[in-house]
């Protein structure tokens, strides 16, 4: 009876304990698995979810493990059903308030039934012992009183049934039960050891589940390692723990903070230290210590190593996720357009830079081919090369012509790179594009400026050489005109020759003005006066079919500039307006003074000349090219294409600009803006006599052009001077060394062969004669020459008349009025 009672009690107790443990562990397990799988379900990373489920499914209690994805309704059975005798629990997986899936965990009842069976076996053994004790008690009935021994034995049995294991010898002090007591004490010790081992296993399993949950969560490495250290401390009962993430150098020095009560190594005999290793490099460590009476067991050391490995894996994943977030943030903030396509060239990702560049949103672009979005026409050579490189799986760099959503065409520099997996197979293509439309426009403007500069240099060089010859011929005609004994027909012929030479000189001035190499005489003039004087000539030039309307400013419009060049601007604009009105029309000319404040686009004072016609107007294409040299819309022989180019050069040389407005069929308006001097008084032209003075100086003339040298020498002689001629700088230095004391004046060209320029020649002479008088001649701009002319050297621009040459000599020798 006592045996049956013992078996029944132990079986009932075991079944109740088994059911309680089964329910508790199942609830804990399904909750832990829901936390572990939640990040993978949120990221829809089923490869990671499968790995986590396989790791979790190694628990021998788990008979089935399934996950249902809420978005697609797909159910994944990561652990197949091992037995039908199970207990199932399901739990929803949430991300905040959003349900993203459901996990279902089934525990094997047989696992817990085996524990009950072991307990029942133990109970049967105990019952058998009780039965043996009962039999012995019956035997003792005839030998001695048996109530007390049976009572003591029943107490021991109840203790075993309740899970207590009292010492048998002290509870039943009868020698008849001595052998039974030794057996029961031995079995009691084994049961306690098994229970302790089972408890430790359960605690270790629970700890592993917590570690797994922590390592799969998106937690910072420092916090993760610190939490793992606290878990191990509580699990092992450690008194000192150090768990940290640190560089390898810090780990080698032993730096770091302890989470414990004592740093003294003498107080601890049991200690363990395990590094956290990632990619063969230590990234942290876990160190534990406790009293010397409790050394660490191999199982505990294995657990610490397993935790360190899990932490290393978690740190690696955390760094990968951080790198992914950084990469995503960088791509999202790139101003360039970024497109990612799959192998079929369907767009799977675009960044905001793509939307800013093309106007297409991410929703409009997804799933479409990039060329379908941005194609202008059929692929050109660049597009064909790009498609060939993509088909071959090779990178491609080039320029494409694309169109935005609005239809606006733009140019894009594109880099396309294939993305390969670990097997080397292409999975995606990444294209990074940069809008280079503005850069191409700047490059085109730069090339246009270079072409203009090259043409300007060519025009200036041609005009300079032609100027020398033209100046010599004009000087010769002037000298011939001084002959009084010639018949009137001779002077009439000279006058007829001067007219085409004047036209040639006008063309030369246009070339020099276009190349910005024409000599400038900056003086303050009234724009009203210049225009009024020019209209006297223009009325005959423009013809009777052109009606001129001049509206001058009510007050003088003083400006600083070269009057001759400004006259050339007026002539060019008026002639251009006349040609735009072949059937006649109205030409309006106006002047005004404009003063802009400091916030204006062009602050300061400006003199404005407006020329307006009622002609045919210009298209946008023609308007964009009107200032190009030799560009003309006139028939061959009716225009040189230099008029507006010269005008542009003169205005730019004065520091101004030109605005143009034109409508086809309605006419054009040109507005020229030149620097004004409202605080200055315009100069009054001085009358010049036709006679030239006579001199008696000795002049060293240095000129490499034979015709110019001959005519200047002859002119100097006609003015009464003595002339020593040389063709280059070295010869001139030798002549100065021989006759320097007799030379009063040096007249030299600016640019000469022999390696010595005119300025260098004067400076070499001044080394021995600091007071030498000198004049430098040049067909280039006076401003260009002034940049290199030392003080005291006169500048004489070519071509010049006999009177201008005489004045320059008088001023250089100090015989005339100071040069203005």
Q: What is the mean pLDDT of residues 321-330?
A: 86
Span of 113-127, 146-160, 347-361 with lowest mean pLDDT: 146-160
- Of the ranges 271-285, 335-349, 567-581, 674-688, which is most confident? 335-349
Q: Look at residue 616 and give its three-state secondary structure.
A: coil
- Topology adopted by domain 523-675: Heat Shock Protein 90 (3.30.565)
Q: Are 120 and 7 in contact (CB under 8 A)?
A: yes
Span of 198-212, 364-378, 597-611 with lowest mean pLDDT: 198-212
* Residues 725-739: tens digit of each pLDDT: 999 999 999 999 998
Q: Is the pLDDT of residue 562 over 70?
A: yes
Q: Are 47 and 119 in contact (CB under 8 A)?
A: no
Residue 689: pLDDT band (50, 70, 90) is very low
* Residues 485-525: tens digit of each pLDDT: 767 776 677 666 766 666 566 556 555 555 555 556 678 88
Q: Report residue 158 CA to chain centroid gap.
A: 83
Q: Is the pLDDT of residue 292 over 90?
A: no
**Could you tell me the pTM of the whole model?**
0.42
Span of 50-64, 337-351, 363-377, 446-460 with lowest mean pLDDT: 446-460
Q: What is the mean pLDDT of residues 169-185?
A: 63
What are residue 106's DSSP bridge partners? 64, 88
Mean pLDDT of the chain: 78
Q: What is the mean pLDDT of residues 540-561?
A: 86
Reduced DSSP (H G I as helix, E B as strand, rest coil) percent helix, strand, coil of the chain, to 5: 50, 20, 30
**Parallel/antiparallel/unpaired status of strands 585-596 and 558-561:** unpaired
Residue 381: pLDDT band (50, 70, 90) is confident
Q: Is the pLDDT of residue 249 over 90?
A: no
**pLDDT > 90: what percent of the chain?**
15
Kindly report the number of other CB atoms within 10 A of residue 281's CB atom: 11
Span of 263-272, 670-679, 735-744, 792-801 with lowest mean pLDDT: 263-272
* Residues 624-673: tens digit of each pLDDT: 777 776 666 654 444 555 678 878 888 888 889 999 999 888 899 999 99
C-alpha–C-alpha distance, residues 375 and 401, integer Å: 8
Domain 698-812 has CATH 3.40.50.2300: yes
Span of 228-232, 558-562, 770-774 with lowest mean pLDDT: 228-232
**pLDDT > 70: what percent of the chain?**
72
Instruction: Give the E-state strand segments of 619-691 in sequence order.
Output: 657-663, 667-675
Residue 238: pLDDT band (50, 70, 90) is confident
| Domain at 334-435, CATH homologous superfamily | PAS domain (3.30.450.20)
Q: Is the pLDDT of residue 570 over 70?
A: yes
Matching fold, domains 334-435 and 523-675: no
Q: Are 557 and 593 in contact (CB under 8 A)?
A: yes
Burial of 399 (0-12, 13-18, 19+ CB in 10 A): middle
* Residues 690-723: tens digit of each pLDDT: 445 567 899 999 998 888 888 889 888 888 899 9
- Note the pLDDT of residue 726: 93
- Note the pLDDT of residue 75: 81
- Note the pLDDT of residue 52: 80
Q: What is the DSSP string of 426-493?
A: EEEEEEEEEE-HHHHHHHHHHHHHHHHHHHHHHHHHHHHHHHHHHHHHHHHHHHHHT-TTS-HHHHHH
Q: What is the mean pLDDT of residues 40-59?
A: 78
Tell me the domain boundaries of the chain.
1-209, 218-328, 334-435, 523-675, 698-812
**Parallel/antiparallel/unpaired status of strands 745-749 and 773-778:** parallel
Q: What is the DSSP string of 520-547?
A: ---EEEEHHHHHHHHHHHHHHHH-TTEE
Higher pLDDT, 199 or 396: 396
Q: What is the mean pLDDT of residues 39-67?
A: 79
Q: Is the pLDDT of residue 11 over 70?
A: no
Higher pLDDT, 272 or 138: 272
- Note the pLDDT of residue 608: 94
Span of 29-43, 321-335, 757-771 with lowest mean pLDDT: 29-43
At the top level of CATH, the class of 218-328 is alpha beta
Residue 149: pLDDT band (50, 70, 90) is low
Interacting residues of 180 by C-beta distance below 8 A, sequence separation 6+? 129, 132, 133, 136, 168
- Note the pLDDT of residue 696: 86
* Residues 600-635: tens digit of each pLDDT: 778 889 999 999 999 888 888 787 777 776 666 654
Q: Is the pLDDT of residue 14 over 80?
A: no
Q: Is the pLDDT of residue 413 over 80?
A: yes
C-alpha–C-alpha distance, residues 68 and 94, integer Å: 12
């Amino acid at each position: 009876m006592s045996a049956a009672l013992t078996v029944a009690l132990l079986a009932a107790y075991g079944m109740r304990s088994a059911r309680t443990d089964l329910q508790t562990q199942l609830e804990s397990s399904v909750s832990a698995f829901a936390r572990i799988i939640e990040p993978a379900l949120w990221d829809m990373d089923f490869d990671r979810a499968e790995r986590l489920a396989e790791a979790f499914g190694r628990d021998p209690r788990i008979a089935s493990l399934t996950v249902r994805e809420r978005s697609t309704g797909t159910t994944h059975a990561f652990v197949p059903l091992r037995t039908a005798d199970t207990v199932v629990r399901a739990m929803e997986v949430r991300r905040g308030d959003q349900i993203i899936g459901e996990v279902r965990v089934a525990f094997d009842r047989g696992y817990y039934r085996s524990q009950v069976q072991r307990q029942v076996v133990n109970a049967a053994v105990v019952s058998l012992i009780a039965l043996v004790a009962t039999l012995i008690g019956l035997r003792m009935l005839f030998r001695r009183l048996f109530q007390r021994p049976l009572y003591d034995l029943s107490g021991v049995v109840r203790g075993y049934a309740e899970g207590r294991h009292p010492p048998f010898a002290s509870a039943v002090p009868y020698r008849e039960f001595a052998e039974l007591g030794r057996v029961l004490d031995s079995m009691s010790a084994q049961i306690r050891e098994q229970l302790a081992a089972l408890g430790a296993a359960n605690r270790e399993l629970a700890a592993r589940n917590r570690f797994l949950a922590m390592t799969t969560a998106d937690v910072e490495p420092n916090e993760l390692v610190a939490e793992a250290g606290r878990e191990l401390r509580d699990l092992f009962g450690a008194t000192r723990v150090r768990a940290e993430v640190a560089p390898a150098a810090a780990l080698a020095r032993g730096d770091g903070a302890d989470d414990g009560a004592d740093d003294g190594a003498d107080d601890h005999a049991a200690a363990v230290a395990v590094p956290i290793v990632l990619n063969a490099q230590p990234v942290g460590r876990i160190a534990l210590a406790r009293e010397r009476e409790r050394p660490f067991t191999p199982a505990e050391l294995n657990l610490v190593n397993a935790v360190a490995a899990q932490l290393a894996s978690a740190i690696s994943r955390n760094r990968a996720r951080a790198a992914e977030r950084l990469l995503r943030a960088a791509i999202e903030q790139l101003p360039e357009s970024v497109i990612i396509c799959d192998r079929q060239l369907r767009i799977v990702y675009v960044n905001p830079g793509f939307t800013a560049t093309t106007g297409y949103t991410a929703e409009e672009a997804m799933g479409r081919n990039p060329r379908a979005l941005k194609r202008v026409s059929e692929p050109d050579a660049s597009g064909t090369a790009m498609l060939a490189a993509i088909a071959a799986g090779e990178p491609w760099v080039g320029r494409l012509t694309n169109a935005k959503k609005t239809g606006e065409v733009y140019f894009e520099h594109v880099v396309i790179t294939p993305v390969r997996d670990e097997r080397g197979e292409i999975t995606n293509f990444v294209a990074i594009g940069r809008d280079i439309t503005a850069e191409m426009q700047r490059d085109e403007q730069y090339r246009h400026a270079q072409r203009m500069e090259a043409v300007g240099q060519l025009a200036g060089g041609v005009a300079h050489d032609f100027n020398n010859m033209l100046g010599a011929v004009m000087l010769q005609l002037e000298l011939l005109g001084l002959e009084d004994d010639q018949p009137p027909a001779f002077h009439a012929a000279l006058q007829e020759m001067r007219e085409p030479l004047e036209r040639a000189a006008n063309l030369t001035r246009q070339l020099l003005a276009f190349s910005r190499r024409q000599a400038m005489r900056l003086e303050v003039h009234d724009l009203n006066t210049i225009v009024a004087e020019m209209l006297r000539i223009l009325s005959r030039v423009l013809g009777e079919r052109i009606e001129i309307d001049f509206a001058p400013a009510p007050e003088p419009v003083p400006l600083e500039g070269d009057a001759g060049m400004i006259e050339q601007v007026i002539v060019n604009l008026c002639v251009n307006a006349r040609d735009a009105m072949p059937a006649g029309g109205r030409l309006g000319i106006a002047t005004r003074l404009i003063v802009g404040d400091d916030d204006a686009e062009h602050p300061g004072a400006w003199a404005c000349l407006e020329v307006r016609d009622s002609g045919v107007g210009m298209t946008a294409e023609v308007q964009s090219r009107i200032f190009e040299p030799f560009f003309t819309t006139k028939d061959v022989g009716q225009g040189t294409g230099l008029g507006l180019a010269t005008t542009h050069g003169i205005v730019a040389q004065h520091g101004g600009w030109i605005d143009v407005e034109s409508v086809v069929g309605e006419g054009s308006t040109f507005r020229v803006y030149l620097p004004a001097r409202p605080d200055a008084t315009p100069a009054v032209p001085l009358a010049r006599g036709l006679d030239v003075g006579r001199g008696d100086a000795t002049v060293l003339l240095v000129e490499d052009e034979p015709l110019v040298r001959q005519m200047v020498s002859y002119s100097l002689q006609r003015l009464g001077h003595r002339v020593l001629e040389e063709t280059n700088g070295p010869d001139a230095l030798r002549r100065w060394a021989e006759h320097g004391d007799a030379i009063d004046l040096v007249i030299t060209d600016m640019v000469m062969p022999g390696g010595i320029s005119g300025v260098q020649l004067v400076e070499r002479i001044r080394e021995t004669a600091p007071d030498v008088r000198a004049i430098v001649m040049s067909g280039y701009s006076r401003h260009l020459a002034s940049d290199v002319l030392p003080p005291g050297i006169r500048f004489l621009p070519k071509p010049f008349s006999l009177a201008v040459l005489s004045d320059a000599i008088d001023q250089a020798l100090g015989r005339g009025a100071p040069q203005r």
